[in-house]
Amino acid sequence: GPLQPLCRGAFILLEGCDRAGKSTQAAKLVRKLKARGFLVEHMRFPDRTTPIGNMIDAYLKSTKELDDHAVHLLFSANRWECMAKMKKLLSSGTSIVVERYAYSGVTFSAAKGLELAWCKSPDIGLLAPDVTLFLDLPICEAGKREGFGEERYENEDFQRNVRGLFLDMKHDMTVGDIQNYARKTIDEIHGELVASAIETIKKCATLPLKDLWK
């Protein structure tokens, strides 16, 4: 008989400024999707476990200085080195919930003054997310959260620039992405993320994978 089309997994991206709640929400989302019977894995960028990720980690903890362009390319390389794994998971039917991606790459480097088009170019052709969910928290709130200020970039003026750049890119993100999460509880946000994730998983099950910014 005719072959059943193989359902692929969905690439669900969580983006946002530092301390916006991405890790908390990603963990809750993954747990819920698994409980509902979906195959799903949790990933985050930077992936600090690889040799490239080790260099990025040292830079973020300020034990190492690097040229802005050089570290930008390391962040991008850190995504490229994960492409084979991500494609394999998605094509075998496992969805991935990913914390941060090329949008963080572009906004953080552009906030340092690097040219936007230059910032985007090394990430052109990466796997494109199927949905990008932007957790938008006023920077003054993020600044009050535990741990803020421990790593490079965690100061309010810089984060305000980053947030502005994220908002400039919202046209570039998938439908439903940038919502105002500011005044909602963790559980309300969680409920919205679960709904978007499940809708996305169903919608792209038989669609081909896409390339970013192509």
d(CA 23, CA 103): 16
Q: How many residues bind ligand TMP (CB under 6 A)?
A: 11
User: In whole angstroms, how close is the CB of 208 to ligand TMP at the nearest point?
Assistant: 25
Among 66, 153, 194, 198, binds ligand TMP (CB under 6 A): 153
Binding track over 20-49 against ligand TMP, x by CB under 6 A: -------------------------xx---
Closer residue to ligand TMP (CB): 75 or 166 = 75
User: In whole angstroms, how close is the CB of 211 to ligand TMP at the nearest point?
Assistant: 18
Closer residue to ligand TMP (CB): 45 or 166 = 45
Quote the tokens at residue 6: 């193989």
* The one segment of 35-43, 96-104, 129-137, 202-210 that binds ligand TMP by CB under 6 A: 96-104
Closer residue to ligand TMP (CB): 99 or 130 = 99
Place of tokens 């980053």: 162
Q: Does 190 bind ligand TMP (CB under 6 A)?
A: no
Closer residue to ligand TMP (CB): 161 or 201 = 161
d(CA 97, CA 194): 11
Quote the tokens at residue 196: 């978007």
Q: What are phi and psi of 97, to 5 degrees?
A: -100, 115
According to CB under 6 A, which residues from 49 to 88 bind ligand TMP?
A: 60, 75
Element (H, E) at 95: strand 95-99
User: In whole angstroms, how close is the CB of 121 to ligand TMP at the nearest point?
Assistant: 14
d(CA 143, CA 117): 29
User: How far are the Cα atoms of 1, 26, 91, 207 from residue 110, in angstroms, in the given order?
Assistant: 53, 25, 33, 32
d(CA 12, CA 193): 10
User: In whole angstroms, how close is the CB of 167 to ligand TMP at the nearest point?
Assistant: 16
Q: Does 18 bind ligand TMP (CB under 6 A)?
A: yes
Closer residue to ligand TMP (CB): 66 or 205 = 66
Place of tokens 């490079």: 152
User: In whole angstroms, how close is the CB of 209 to ligand TMP at the nearest point?
Assistant: 20
Nearest by Cα to 16 from 180, 128, 171: 180
Instruction: Provide the b/e sequence for 69-96 (b: ≥16 CB within 10 Å).
Output: eebbbbbbbbbeebeeebeebbeeebbb
**For binding to ligand TMP (CB under 6 A), which residues are involved?**
18, 45-46, 60, 75, 99-100, 104-105, 108, 153
